[in-house]
Amino acid sequence: MRAPTPSIPSGLPGRTAIAIIGCLVVALAALWFYILTRNMIAIGVGLLALVVAGVCASTYRWVE
């Protein structure tokens, strides 16, 4: 009896998931830095990290 052939895995590839988690950590760190220093550049960095995480997530949203 033969083993069943593996199906195509669904979900995000590993590198993409790591990139999204990394971007969310950067956004959280930027928020924390903004709270401590009131430096507006931290908000820009956090916003950029959230945009990158969103792009990574939406790129693989419709892949099946």
Cα atoms in the 13 Å half-sphere on the side-chain side of 26: 17
Taking the whole predicted model, whether its pTM rises above 0.85 is answered as: no
Q: Give tens-digit pLDDT for 2-12.
A: 777 656 566 66
Q: Give tens-digit pLDDT for 49-64.
A: 999 988 888 877 655 4
Note whether 34 and 45 are within 8 A (CB): no
Q: CA 28 from chain center: how many Å? A: 12
Domain ranges of the chain: 14-59
Task: From residue 11, give the alpha-carbon distance in Å to each of 2, 32, 36, 46, 59.
Answer: 27, 30, 37, 25, 12
Q: What's the mean pLDDT in 31-52?
A: 90
